[in-house]
Amino acid sequence: MLRSYDVILVGGGITGLMSAKKLCDIGLHVALVEQHSTLASGPSTRNEGWLHRGTYHAASIRDRHIGIQVARRCIYGHEQLRRFCSEAIEDGDVRPIVMIADGSKVDEVVSRWKEADVQVRPISHAAASKAAPTANFGRVAALFEANDVSVNTRLLYRKLFAMAQKAGCDFYVEHQIERIDGQTAVLKAPSGDLRYVQANKFVYSAGTGARAIFQKHHGVELPIRYWKSHLVITKRLAPVGLFYVDPHEAAMMHHGDVSVIGLNEDALLSPTPSYDVIADRAENLRNAIRRIFPNWSGEDSINIACTKVDLVANATDARSLDIAIREPIPGHVCVLPGKMTEAPYLTDILVSYIHQALDSSVIALRPCDHFEDTQQLLEVG
């Protein structure tokens, strides 16, 4: 039996789950296909669980304009996610401490924060030491409290999944795409049974898997790149979150009794999406942790690798944190969020994009819609 949908989403990470809910909310018939046995099994959960509020990106991205743009999108996403799933916020009443080691950059960073509307408050070394007694702030030129928070991504995704189901989305979990012919796909269930589905639009939110899907099923080479970075998971190191905005320094978020720590600007271009740990890169991160916590032994901690993706026109460009919506083949759209916190912004743009393509005759046209139609007729004429 062939099942028909308005939109089929391929990939069940944060972008797929959030898109499923939002597209169902505007009355579209939606399905989501996930090849793994669990949802959000890739980059969506392999991260620090950091709900950014622009603090890091406004300061760390080299190009001021891009840094402020990404920061504003993170602020937008931060506020939307806090409203949607406040129960997933961890340590919401504890403000993390932002550290700047390079004193020559302080004025520029503060200027960017002000322009992007990033909310910070300067604090003294004494106040920071009181908040995090075992941390070493001797190398730090300036300290601030920020409004970034830790987020329980599993709880967030659980709510998105439940809300999408309630809104009518069909989920095909642990289903493999056997083939795609035009707007029809054949899915293989865990039992081996084949399911036939079709849609007006296929939206690929598969992240690390999108490039392979377009290669295999459409013969199209998408300019998607893979970036590997590392995390250390250890026992909680401080009562408050701590993060540098300087390159090659540590940034951490806390989840209960655990700290998850990454290294700024650690991303290494990788030919394939792999979760294999590179020992010397992981050791760089551990050394950065010891610069903050000199007495940290590293015992009872683990290294993990994570892979993130971007889509760029030029393979020589630096890693892009920009969102991407591309339709390289009519009816087949690839979407990528630059950062998890940018997913609300991306999915709002996607919903508008899909609405334009799959219009509803139930809603009257606006005068500006008539104007656009007239202009198109004049251009054709």
- Give the homologous superfamily in CATH for domain 2-43+154-223+321-380: FAD/NAD(P)-binding domain (3.50.50.60)
Domain boundaries, the chain: 2-43+154-223+321-380, 93-147+225-311
DSSP symbol at 53: -
What is the distance between the alpha carbons of residues 57 and 43, in angstroms, rounded to a whole number? Answer: 19
pLDDT tens profile 25-82:
999 999 999 999 999 988 899 999 999 999 999 999 999 999 999 999 999 999 999 9
How confident is the model over 79-120, as pLDDT tens digits?
Answer: 999 999 999 999 999 999 999 999 999 999 999 999 999 999
Phi/psi at 170 (nearest 5 deg)? -90, 135
Q: What is the pTM of this model?
A: 0.93
CA–CA gap between residue 377 and residue 199 (Å, rounded): 28
Q: Which residues of the chain have pLDDT under 70?
A: 313-318, 372-381
CATH pick for 93-147+225-311 out of 3.40.50.300, 3.30.9.10, 3.40.50.1970, 2.30.42.10 = 3.30.9.10
DSSP string, 326-337: EEEETTEEEEE-
Sign of the Cα torsion 271, 273, 276, 280 reads positive
How many CB atoms within 10 Å of residue 372?
Answer: 12
Beta carbons of 376 and 29 less than 8 angstroms apart: no
Sign of CA dihedral 61, 64, 66, 68: positive
Non-local CB neighbours of 299 within 8 Å, separated by 6+ positions = none
